[in-house]
Chains A and B, each alone.
Chain A
Amino acid sequence: MSNIKLATSLFSYAYEWNSGKYTLEDVIAETRKRGLGTGLEIIGFQSLRGFPYISNETEKEVKNLLDKYEFEPVALDANIDVGIKRHQKMTTDETVEYIKPQILAAQKLGFPILRVQTTAPAEVYQKLVPFAEKANVIMGVELHTPYSVDHPSVIKMLEMFKEIDTHVLGFVPDMGTCMRAIPDALLTSFKASGVTDEMIEATKEIWHKDISTPQKFGELAEKVGVMGATPPQIGRLNMAFSMNGRQPIESWKEIMPYVVHIHGKFYGFDENGDEPSIDYEKIFKVFNEGGYNGYISSEYEGSAFTDEFDAFDMVEMQHILFKKILKDLT
């Protein structure tokens, strides 16, 4: 029996939301109508005007919607925009101050976890521990590709976690870090820039190799260059290496006690309803064996490459797949 719970991240509806045709209530109501989990994840800068400052009015609105549509607030997503200034990166102290109001936003709205990002180093989160403890908000550092468990920044972060006795530090693994193939939606989008099938095949082949990403960039440039690829086309194809991680799924065991939430990223489905680029059956097995009993949020990423599909339909298909996997999990 597994205790892993299902949630939906409103990130999934980026395209629908941006069209201006939906209100916050519309997207939450539709998510409930289709039964897409018991938990909800919201991106502050996407759904809440004025974020990170939350008015009493917004607080009331969000809490009412969660209550009305029976969703448990799971995670609020912060963004750590260290490159906000044009020619200068934020300093450690500036980054600390940039995150503080976002922690208070999670506290005010009743979200137990604030998703934060690896753009801020371990030092920043270490400094924020007392503040987050006071607010009783967990800072969940998202491990998004290329930040897999063996990345130097992640190793440093884990060492820091182990040294500090607190409940407010954790990881949010994103399943785009441990993929089994490059998504078709991404490959198809390359064709719009004139990339040929032959170049795509070469890219796929190199992606599967056990060599470093810079080495992959080099090999790709050489191979598709001969096929006539232009520098912008090579740049597009390089995205396939930067965006799709190949960390072994079992490696999540190394950080398992610190996992506070999971991002169930996905791009599309095959005719059997399976996600060809991400092996969710194995993912659930590994986290279940590791004793994980938190949430996994659906995060539909396909709308970044195609508007062919309705995001509500896509999230529904992922929940059908997840429920089937959970049922078979013993």
Chain B
Amino acid sequence: MIVPEKAKKTENGFQFGARLPYYRGISLSMVEEIEVTLDGETLPQSAVNITVHGNTYDLVQREKETDDRWEMGEEAILSVKKEDGLSVGEHKLGLKINLRIGYMPFPSIRVAEKKIII
């Protein structure tokens, strides 16, 4: 679900591409958690913004968005705020996505880990 080729440094942190680990597209309100770890450090969820087809949402906006969807197979951009920035070279990136499935009693949780090069 991590698209490492899209990883790069940004003005206030870094960003990378991600695909939804599920069989269909879902509204953003159902993305319960996006947890990013960098070189073993878990970053706060409020530091992660998501951009789908040009629309960017922070954590609060994402939880309320019941119309706009992260579509199946769509590459979303996850931008992460990180004050001390990111050094040039190789980093270990971890991603956990927890989906609240509107019709299931238990959530769908997927984790992935990839190396990114800045």
Contact A86 B29 (CB under 8 A): yes
Residue A2 interfacial (CB < 8 Å): no
Q: Point out the residue from B29, B71, B100 that lies within 8 Å of A49, measured CB to CB.
A: B71
Q: Point out the residue from B23, B73, B101 that lies within 8 Å of A83, measured CB to CB.
A: B101
Q: A81-B30, A84-B66 are in contact. Are A20 and B19 (CB under 8 A)?
A: yes
Contact A46 B106 (CB under 8 A): no
Contact B66 A43 (CB under 8 A): no
Contact A117 B71 (CB under 8 A): no
Residue B89 interfacial (CB < 8 Å): no
Residue B44 interfacial (CB < 8 Å): no
Q: How far is the CA of A18 from the CA of B26 in the complex (A)?
A: 13
The 0/1 profile, CB within 8 Å of A marked 1, for residues 81-118 of chain B is 00000000000000000001111011000000000000
User: Which residues of the partner chain A approach B26 to less than 8 Å between Cβ atoms?
Assistant: 45, 81
Interface size range on A against B: 20 to 34
Count of A-B residue pairs with CB < 8 Å: 70
User: Which residues of the partner chain A approach B48 to less than 8 Å between Cβ atoms?
Assistant: none
The 0/1 profile, CB within 8 Å of A marked 1, for residues 15-32 of chain B is 000011111111101101
Contact B103 A83 (CB under 8 A): yes
Q: A17-B72, A79-B102 are in contact. Are A85 and B24 (CB under 8 A)?
A: no
User: Which residues of the partner chain B approach A79 to less than 8 Å between Cβ atoms?
Assistant: 24, 102-103
Residue B35 interfacial (CB < 8 Å): no
Q: How distant is B78 from chain A, measured CB to nearest CB, in Å?
A: 17
Contact A46 B102 (CB under 8 A): no
Contact B23 A43 (CB under 8 A): yes
User: Which residues of the partner chain B approach A85 to less than 8 Å between Cβ atoms?
Assistant: 29, 66
Q: How far is the CA of A118 from the CA of B102 in the complex (A)?
A: 12
Q: How far is the CA of A84 from the CA of B103 in the complex (A)?
A: 9
User: Which residues of the partner chain B approach A329 to less than 8 Å between Cβ atoms?
Assistant: none
Q: How far is the CA of A51 from the CA of B100 in the complex (A)?
A: 19
Q: How far is the CA of A44 from the CA of B49 in the complex (A)?
A: 27
Q: How distant is B28 from chain A, measured CB to nearest CB, in Å?
A: 10
Contact A11 B23 (CB under 8 A): yes
Chain B interface main SS type: loop
Q: Point out the residue from B63, B72, B103, B106 that lies within 8 Å of A119, measured CB to CB.
A: B103
Contact A18 B23 (CB under 8 A): yes
Residue A321 interfacial (CB < 8 Å): no
Q: How distant is A106 from chain B, measured CB to nearest CB, in Å?
A: 16
Contact B24 A45 (CB under 8 A): yes
User: Which residues of the partner chain A approach B69 to less than 8 Å between Cβ atoms?
Assistant: 45
With both beta carbons as reference points, the residue of chain B lying nearest to A82 in the complex is identified as B102
User: Which residues of the partner chain B approach A44 to less than 8 Å between Cβ atoms?
Assistant: 24
Q: How far is the CA of A84 from the CA of B102 in the complex (A)?
A: 6
With both beta carbons as reference points, the residue of chain A lying nearest to B73 in the complex is identified as A20
Contact B25 A81 (CB under 8 A): no
User: Which residues of the partner chain A approach B105 to less than 8 Å between Cβ atoms?
Assistant: 242
Q: A18-B19, A45-B24 are in contact. Are A83 and B30 (CB under 8 A)?
A: yes
Q: How distant is B3 from chain A, measured CB to nearest CB, in Å?
A: 9
The 0/1 profile, CB within 8 Å of B marked 1, for residues 83-106 of chain A is 111100000000000000000000
Q: How far is the CA of A220 from the CA of B22 in the complex (A)?
A: 29
With both beta carbons as reference points, the residue of chain B lying nearest to A10 in the complex is identified as B23
The 0/1 profile, CB within 8 Å of B marked 1, for residues 243-274 of chain A is 00000000000000000000000000000000
Q: How distant is B72 from chain A, measured CB to nearest CB, in Å?
A: 5
Supply 27 A–B pairs (Cβ within 8 Å), ascending by A: A11-B23, A14-B24, A17-B73, A18-B20, A18-B21, A18-B22, A18-B23, A20-B73, A45-B26, A46-B72, A49-B25, A80-B103, A81-B102, A81-B103, A82-B102, A83-B30, A83-B100, A83-B103, A84-B29, A86-B29, A86-B32, A117-B103, A118-B103, A119-B103, A239-B106, A242-B105, A242-B106
Please give me the 7 A-B residue pairs with the lowest Cβ-Cβ distance, nearest first. A81-B102, A14-B23, A119-B103, A45-B24, A46-B24, A83-B102, A45-B25
Please give the residue numbers on chain A whose beta carbons come within 8 Å of chain B beta carbons, in ascending order.
11, 14, 17-20, 43-47, 49, 51, 79-86, 117-119, 239, 242, 304
Please give the residue numbers on chain B whose beta carbons come within 8 Å of chain A beta carbons, in ascending order.
19-27, 29-30, 32, 63, 66, 69, 71-73, 75, 100-103, 105-106
